């Protein structure tokens, strides 16, 4: 079994279980996936938070340093391969969505109101959590 976090066009996020990835793809293609809140069938996979269960002794099966290094690696790859447009994110995303500007990978900031506009216009985007700096202490 596999579990996915799904989101609808109206911003509702929910969880669904599937036998395997192909069953998810099949059900999505057939329009069988439906938001339990609003009934929308325009559903997509969302980024899922990673969570590891600690072993009985309290030790994580993967050292925390290794997990943090992986998160930094992913984040650095996103930064390296996208343009930072800062507070112009919504404007740039809309221009690309409507063909005014060429498609490219961008990152930036948007208010909740701007995120709602992007969702209402059908612009796909996702939030990127910023990992703590390597020298920051965690509790």
Backbone angles phi, psi at 13, to 5 degrees: -115, 135
Q: What is the mean pLDDT of the chain?
A: 83
Distance, CA of 84 to CA of 33 (rounded, Å): 34
Q: How many domains, the chain?
A: 2
User: How large is the average pLDDT for residues 63-92?
Assistant: 87
Please state which of the ranges 35-39, 60-64, 71-75, 91-95 shows the lowest mean pLDDT: 60-64
Residue 136 lies in a domain: no
132 assigned to some structural domain:
no
Q: With respect to residue 32, please indicate whether it lies within any of the assigned structural domains.
A: yes
**Domain hosting residue 100, numbered range:** 64-121
**pLDDT band for position 139 (cuts 50, 70, 90):** very low
Does the pLDDT value for residue 16 go beyond 80?
Answer: yes
Lowest mean pLDDT among 30-34, 48-52, 85-89, 114-118: 48-52
Contact, 95 vs 101, CB < 8 A?
yes
Q: Phi/psi class of residue 63: alpha, beta or left (left: φ > 0; alpha: ψ in -120 to 50)?
A: beta
Instruction: Specify the pTM.
Output: 0.52
């Amino acid at each position: 079994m596999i579990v996915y976090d799904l989101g609808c066009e109206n911003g509702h996020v929910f969880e669904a279980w599937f036998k395997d990835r192909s069953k998810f793809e099949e059900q999505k293609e057939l329009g069988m996936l439906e938001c339990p809140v609003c009934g929308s069938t325009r559903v997509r996979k969302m980024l899922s938070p990673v969570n590891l269960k600690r072993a009985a002794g309290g030790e994580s099966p993967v050292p925390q340093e290794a997990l943090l290094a992986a998160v930094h690696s992913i984040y650095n790859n996103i930064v390296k391969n996208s343009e930072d447009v800062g507070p112009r994110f919504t404007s740039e995303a809309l221009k690309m969505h409507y063909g005014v500007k060429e498609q490219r990978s961008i990152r930036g900031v948007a208010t909740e109101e701007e995120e709602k506009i992007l969702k209402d216009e059908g612009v796909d985007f996702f939030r990127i959590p910023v990992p703590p700096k390597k020298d920051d202490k965690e509790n």
